[in-house]
Amino acid sequence: MAKILISAGEPSGDLYASALVEALRRRDPGLDFFGCAQPRMLAAGVRPVMDAGKLHVVGVFEVITHIPGIWAEYRKLIRAADDEKPALAILTDSPDFNLRVARQLAKRKIPVVYLVAPQAWAWRSGRTRQMARDLRRLLCIFPFEEAWFRERGVPTDYIGHPLASQVKRTMSTAEFRGELGIPDNRHLVALLPGSRPGEVRRHLPILLDAVKKLSNRPISFVLGAVPSLGHGFFVNQLASASIQGSVKVIEGRTRDLLASADVALAASGTVTVEAALLGTPMVTFYRVNSASWGLGKLLVRTPYFTMANLIAGQMLVPELMQNEATGERLAAETARLLDSPLELEQMRAGLARVATLLNTGHDPIERAADIVSGMLTEHV
């Protein structure tokens, strides 16, 4: 029975890694997966050997205070690799953690497949030297990445974006609005503050300020609560801001919410890719602490922060980062879009082009499973 070490530190990585575990198990039910497992991976039967929750930190300086805990979990994972001697490792996203894991696994002659390329094209491009040395295969999910990494000596395959075949609505806009009691004469604006507690605490006050500034307009606001934090977490945040009655909270329904929304106010991340695939006009935003932002400005080399803009090669959707991410600016951009049906249609057309580029015509997870299965065969 072959053992596979698998590691993911983000909710999006958990989604892709768990899907890959299930695809590989369909090929070989006897495979034994262990490692850094998030909730979906646990449900898929991955044995945890460390506390994956310790990795849920964003921002250069925010990470510093958590280094001792992260280091302890990292050592647990490497000890598990030494004890169990996996035939292969699959590392998903979370490059600051997983590239260090890759270095140790490569020293132990364990082949490493890396799923979801680190954004080395945006910052810390020097990491490609280590990746070329330590990775057996890099599986990227954005179309412009394959050539970029191959030019730097990293064995790379573009498999397509896993969400391209997964992101679908389960009900019509009329059904969704009817369920929430939103009349046809009101706009629907989705509020998506992020998936981590820190993100939500930074972003929710900004969103709620925008809600207050738009209160004189016929808009219904619906906040998408991620299951990992739960409905209650968001309701409590709204209660503390004394704005409970102005915003509806739904949990685990992000795709139906996006598909039905006139505009989404979305924290930059995977949810913006989902919005692009569903053709939802959006305004993106993000904030970290000022020290992390200052350092990031020195290191990041990318014309845009939102993936839809990067893939389109133009400013397709407005993005408000750091000091620009204010309630006033979010409200102004939302009002501008809602008052301009032509601009909304143009944005939808641009997002449709992005969605086409993300869809390769085959299932990306099955393609990844084909590659991993082939490597397992070679190992045996």
Q: Are 78 and 101 in contact (CB under 8 A)?
A: yes
Give residue 175's pLDDT band: very low, low, confident or very high (50, 70, 90). very high
Q: Find, among 45, 51, 40, 52, the residue nearest to 25 by Cα.
A: 45
What is the overall mean pLDDT for the chain?
89
One-letter amino acid at 378 equals E
- Residue 290's pLDDT is what? 64
pLDDT at 370: 96
Residue range 313-370, pLDDT digits in tens: 899 999 999 889 999 999 999 999 999 999 999 999 999 999 999 998 889 999 999 9
Transcribe 205-220 into DSSP letters: HHHHHHHHHTTTSSEE
Nearest to 371 by CA among 152, 135, 165, 100: 135
pLDDT at 298 over 70: no
* Domains, the chain, ordered by start: 3-160+360-379 (3.40.50.2000), 173-358 (3.40.50.2000)
Residue 54 — pLDDT band, cuts 50, 70, 90? Answer: low
Q: What residues pair up with 34 in beta bridges, in sequence order?
A: 5, 47
pLDDT for 229 equals 77
Kindly tell me the burial class for residue 239, based on how many C-beta atoms sit within 10 Å of its own C-beta (0-12, 13-18, 19 or more).
exposed
Report phi then psi at 335, rounded to 5: -60, -40
Work out the angle at residue 24's Cα, subtended by the Cα atoms of residues 20 and 30, and round it to the nearest 5 degrees. 135
Alpha helices by DSSP H, listed for the chain, are 11-27, 39-43, 60-64, 67-84, 95-107, 127-134, 145-150, 173-180, 197-213, 231-240, 254-260, 270-278, 290-299, 307-312, 327-338, 341-358, 364-379
